[in-house]
Amino acid sequence: MRSGLDVDVRNLTKVFQRGSESLIAVQDVSFSVPRGGFLSIVGPSGCGKTTLLRMVAGLLERTSGEVFLDPEREKEGVAFIPQASVLLPWRTLLQNVTLGMELKGSLSITGIERVRSEIEKYGLGGFEDSLPSELSGGMAQRVAVIRALESRPRILFCDEPFSAIDFVTRLELNTRFKFMCRVQAITTVFVTHNIEEAIFLGDEVVVMSNRPARTVVTYTPHLSVGSENAVECRKSPEFATLFQKIWKDLRNG
């Protein structure tokens, strides 16, 4: 593995076998993420982004290629936020958030107080004792995000974690999420089909093709306005320019 990298992906390919037919989902994808870096992966729906992410996270067997995670950082903790929240139905909101801390043996009174503060900041104050069945889909997804961050991972994989959340709340959460990843120096690979989200969050943005997913181009956003705020960043001229470039890349497949 190359020095200074937490994630190093080389020539990753996935082929699904369906009877006598072979379906290539991901083809020859390579990228890397330095320690504490944030990589956004954007592409059209159904192009193979989730398949790619699950292979990198070790949740799906790859057909060929190599994935390297820094062993020390991996040992310290890896988290995965899926599209669906996957909360434990018998645990309250607060208990679901603290699950990772319990599993790591790091749950404390101070930790619970910090979690309660985060729950409030994510707009879920007052629902600490609610069960998942009493929450909306967007609320449950916010719980999954807080749970992952509060487990203090060193490497984080995200599969469209904000897709079920309304636009206004999503912008607020983008700002909070970026801040927390920066503060905790979490190395993040973030899949989305939202171009604006990808630009704001990513130190680099990888644009994927239609299926089979291949890397079309990689951009490095440099926003002169509001780089730490998901609303203010839209005032940056670089934001509009990069949005148009990625939009054209995706339209061209």
Q: Is the pLDDT of residue 95 over 80?
A: yes
Cα–Cα distance between 207 and 42 in angstroms, integer?
5
Global pTM reads 0.93
Give mean pLDDT, residues 82-104.
90
For residue 124, pLDDT over 80 is answered with yes
- Whether the CA torsion 169, 171, 175, 180 is positive or negative: it is positive
Confidence band (pLDDT; 50, 70, 90) for 111?
confident
Average pLDDT (115-122) is 92
* Per-residue pLDDT, 105: 79
Non-local (6+) Cβ contacts of 36 within 8 A are: 6, 182, 185, 186, 187
Domains delineated in the chain: 5-77+153-251 (3.40.50.300), 87-152 (no CATH)
